[in-house]
Amino acid sequence: MRLFPIYFLPLLAVAALTLGAPAEANSGKALDLARIEAEGLESVGSDRLKQLVAQPKAEKKSVQFSRAWIDRQPKASGSDEWQCLAEALYFEARGETVKGQFAVAEVILNRVRSKRFPGTLCGVINQGTGKKYQCQFTYTCDGHKEVIAEPRAFARVGKVARAVLDGKAPRITDGATHYHTTAVSPNWSKVFTRTAKIGVHLFYREGVRTASN
């Protein structure tokens, strides 16, 4: 049974009274109903209203950035898109922290959302593949065969990929579409806006730096 918040009870009472009333009577009571509704919303307060509206989204984001949380999740599986994302996380970030793995996955999804990149996960991940060291993700064009030699590590990043695709992960890179390890300094990092540092990766979004960045 669904319980209504106490500030909606006057609305229900008024609604019950107006049911079955003549149309000419309802026209006057509609104004009273609107007034009561407005007063009821004002009494809640803007902060509480924002909290109520945001609550379903907050409950949806149930991820914890820890190995223990990952290990508690069921075995992950999915479509080709899930497979592509899981493999990218394995080859690009399996040695990262759990939060770092989520961050790398987020960058890939941000690229899918951007008009500058292909519109699928597999398309983004394999962009440029076929030209040695001209691809977006080095493991796809470094000339080495892609072998998953650590099945436990793959199982973990597969769970990360599943959580991201299911919309459970909060956004943590502030719209980043690029990243690199702290061991290198590509030319574009001097131009793009840095948004986050998570583990051994620095994250950026396209856009010229300003004096405040």
Confidence (pLDDT) at 57: 43
Percent of the chain beyond pLDDT 70? 66
Confidence (pLDDT) at 140: 81
197 versus 44: which is more confidently predicted? 197
- Summarize pLDDT for 83-108 with one digit per residue, the tens: 999 999 999 999 999 999 999 999 99
Extract the runs of DSSP E, i.e. beta strands, from the chain: 178-181, 193-198, 201-205
Q: Give the Cα separation of 176 and 164 in Å (integer).
A: 15
Amino acid identity for residue 54 in this structure: A
Asked if pLDDT for residue 119 goes beyond 50, the answer is yes
Taking residues 7-23, what's their average pLDDT?
Answer: 39
DSSP string, 142-160: SSS------HHHHHHHHHH
Considering the entire predicted model, what is its pTM?
0.68
61 versus 150: which is more confidently predicted? 150
Cβ 67 vs Cβ 61: under 8 Å: no
Confidence (pLDDT) at 41: 39
- Summarize pLDDT for 41-70 with one digit per residue, the tens: 344 344 433 433 343 343 356 899 999 999
Taking residues 33-43, what's their average pLDDT?
Answer: 44
Asked if pLDDT for residue 183 goes beyond 80, the answer is yes
Taking residues 189-202, what's their average pLDDT?
Answer: 94
Q: How confident is the model at residue 26 (pLDDT cuts 50, 70, 90)?
A: very low
User: Measured between alpha carbons, how far is residue 3 from residues 8, 11, 51, 192 in Å?
Assistant: 10, 14, 18, 50
Report the mean per-residue pLDDT for the chain: 76
Torsion sign across C-alpha atoms 66, 69, 70, 76 = negative
User: Measured between alpha carbons, how far is residue 20 from residues 16, 48, 120 in Å?
Assistant: 9, 34, 54
Q: Are strands 201-205 and 193-198 parallel, antiparallel or unpaired?
A: antiparallel
Which residues have CB under 8 Å from 118's CB, separation 6+? 111, 112, 124, 127
Torsion sign across C-alpha atoms 169, 174, 180, 181 = negative
